[in-house]
Structure 1
């Protein structure tokens, strides 16, 4: 074999997995189709719990630290809340991803950018072949797909993820003399424009990231005009919005396989996105960290070791995603009661801040508000699905 491990995709999931595995003494090749540094459509929020997963500081790429939010409701009311502790960090993917790749290289990872993989195949349970656009072939004992929701690893190896897709569009509003004061250390969230979604304004060093997203079935082809409306509501000139891009958000369902033999998918390729917030960087880095011990054991001869990664996702990540999905269904249909509680109840706002920081989980939040909320969460979520007009589709993957 040319390599012990090949990781396809050098976003936060891929670079983290590559670094963690390389630090255990294995030969790792990290491939990405783009030339680095490259940008990605993403709000760029990094939660506190995400930062704590890493053995190094993200300070070099943090552009703002968020302590609160301006929440705007359908009727135009604005609710503003603050916390004493940071809620999240703001960065740009062009800087974050390049920084994470650099850290992986320092751990011994071989990184090749500008390599567009066109086909992968399993030659044996512990033997894989990767072919790029030029026809060059690479082989490895383990293959990890970190190449996004429509990645080549999932397509070629049979990871037909049963995921629902949300869609978002965003752009950057430049401010050459500094961003507006009201957005320094604050985010703006709008819950009145799209059904089953929200708009956002995120602070960066010299610009605001402005975007809007929701379920495909609800927003249809109107997102660009919705984004223009969002800018208008907040007094921004849509014509000055730069780098407008759309992207899909993959959401995993219970029962989805994320590993098979010596292969696995991580991050967006596994659908590890928070349904309520749309945040995916935590799922990316958490899966990158958690897969390393399983890969190490697999390479040491434990043929079923990658099952441990699958069970970790199934037992530790998916239950919280499902709680988030249920809360999302309720919140986007009936946002006013939640926002009222955020505005008037510190007993509600304080856990909400802890949730965003990652100090607590969705499951713990549900338990915090008692058995009534916990027992009613499922039925209320189903009702909210019907009200919002969105139907879930479940399929079982056939990974070989």
Structure 2
């Protein structure tokens, strides 16, 4: 019997497997795809995760970004040089594969092309039904993404957002610049990240309701403005689960992590950093439980809220104002060197929303509501 079965070998699952295997526990990753597997997304990663995992990621860092450019409908730009350590840009298939390889080297096992379909708890362990047979584990981590549903296991909380990415198979014109565009996509934004020999143009509708066709039209328009045609890129849709109301991320001997836990930033859509954070925290909780610590599993939900969710509540408040009045919000909340630097520091993990939200809300409300705070 396994100590822990982890469903999903993305950043959250692989990080959890690495930590558990390093501690000597019997852990298996169950992944529905073959690996390495292309995953749509911008591939921006905070360098903070290198310290969390104590790994050398140099081999999979395609580009280090030291400048960030913000635009409104591809014009009215502001560009800032990062005052932090450069942001990492990775190609997800290689980044994810490295994490899995390190977990395997530490002792974790991997079963690919395997879909978990159902689970049943017998009072002391989980019996998993997969496309490759049965598996038994004392604990389970569900890290299989925002859209996965496995009978008998908790469903993903959070709010589902529509997202997609264009992957352009040619080097970017600006190799060390991350670009964010507001206004082209209603209730959302577009980001253009360099990834070495290619780049991705991603978009997400995070501020309200939207349709996949609207997202595709906006991304296509953005690409056309760069002189690209449909022959130059591949288009992939994906789901993104944003932090919503505070909900339990655990049940009996089972934890939700990564996109399955609905942790993505509701303002900027960041997902990789919280995925890895949740994987590490999930592994810690399970190690404590295996060591006999009462309440360790329940403490996971509280830990995620304290270290991530409480900040996402503030991000929601900012997003509510930002996407309601996006043009004005861009003018007063982004197109200032100090504001642009703050957004960049948040993305790099050097600042939390709690460090800036009160002041940002005051600035935004004064602009939206004449006489407010005067």
Same fold (TM over 0.5): yes
**8 Å Cα contact 1:195/1:219 also seen in 2:** no
**8 Å Cα contact 1:161/1:257 also seen in 2:** no
2:121 aligned partner: 122
**8 Å Cα contact 1:161/1:252 also seen in 2:** no
Q: CA deviation at 1:338?
A: 4.6
Q: Which of 295, 302, 305 is matched with 1:311 structurally?
A: 302
Return the TM-score normalized by structure 1: 0.85
Q: How many residues align?
A: 367
Distance 1:339 1:289 in 2: 35
1:156 aligned partner: 152
Structure 1: segments with no counterpart, 5+ residues: 381-400
Q: CA deviation at 1:235?
A: 2.3
* Mapping for residues 188-267 of structure 1, pairs under 5 Å: 188-215=179-206, 217-242=209-234, 244-267=235-258
Distance 1:15 1:310 in 2: 19
2:100 aligned partner: 101
2:137 aligned partner: 140
Cα 1:350/1:78, change in 2 over 3 Å: closer
Q: CA deviation at 1:329?
A: 2.2
**8 Å Cα contact 1:47/1:282 also seen in 2:** yes
Distance 2:54 2:131 in 1: 35
Q: Which of 136, 157, 166 is matched with 2:161 structurally?
A: 166
Distance 1:227 1:336 in 2: 19
Q: Which of 347, 364, 376 is matched with 2:355 structurally?
A: 364
**8 Å Cα contact 1:194/1:219 also seen in 2:** no
Encode CA deviations 1:327-353: one digit per residue, 9 max, x unaligned: 122222334455445776444333333
1:40 aligned partner: 39
Distance 1:221 1:346 in 2: 34
Cα 1:235/1:10, change in 2 over 3 Å: same
Encode CA deviations 1:362-383: one digit per residue, 9 max, x unaligned: 111225x289469x79x99xxx
SS at match of 2:284: helix
**8 Å Cα contact 2:241/2:264 also seen in 1:** yes
Cα 1:35/1:74, change in 2 over 3 Å: closer
Cα 1:90/1:75, change in 2 over 3 Å: closer
SS at match of 2:238: strand
1:29 aligned partner: 28
Distance 1:330 1:40 in 2: 31
2:55 aligned partner: 56
Encode CA deviations 1:62-121: one digit per residue, 9 max, x unaligned: 011111222221483222222244442100111011000001011111112121222111
Q: CA deviation at 1:319?
A: 1.1
**8 Å Cα contact 1:64/1:204 also seen in 2:** yes
1:179 aligned partner: 172
Distance 2:158 2:283 in 1: 24
1:7 aligned partner: 6
**8 Å Cα contact 1:72/1:79 also seen in 2:** yes
Distance 1:160 1:331 in 2: 29
2:372 aligned partner: none
Q: CA deviation at 1:138?
A: 0.8
Cα 1:238/1:330, change in 2 over 3 Å: farther
**8 Å Cα contact 1:171/1:245 also seen in 2:** yes
Distance 1:92 1:237 in 2: 22
2:265 aligned partner: 274
Moved more, 91-100 or 226-235: 226-235
**8 Å Cα contact 2:158/2:243 also seen in 1:** yes
- Give the superposed CA RMSD: 2.4
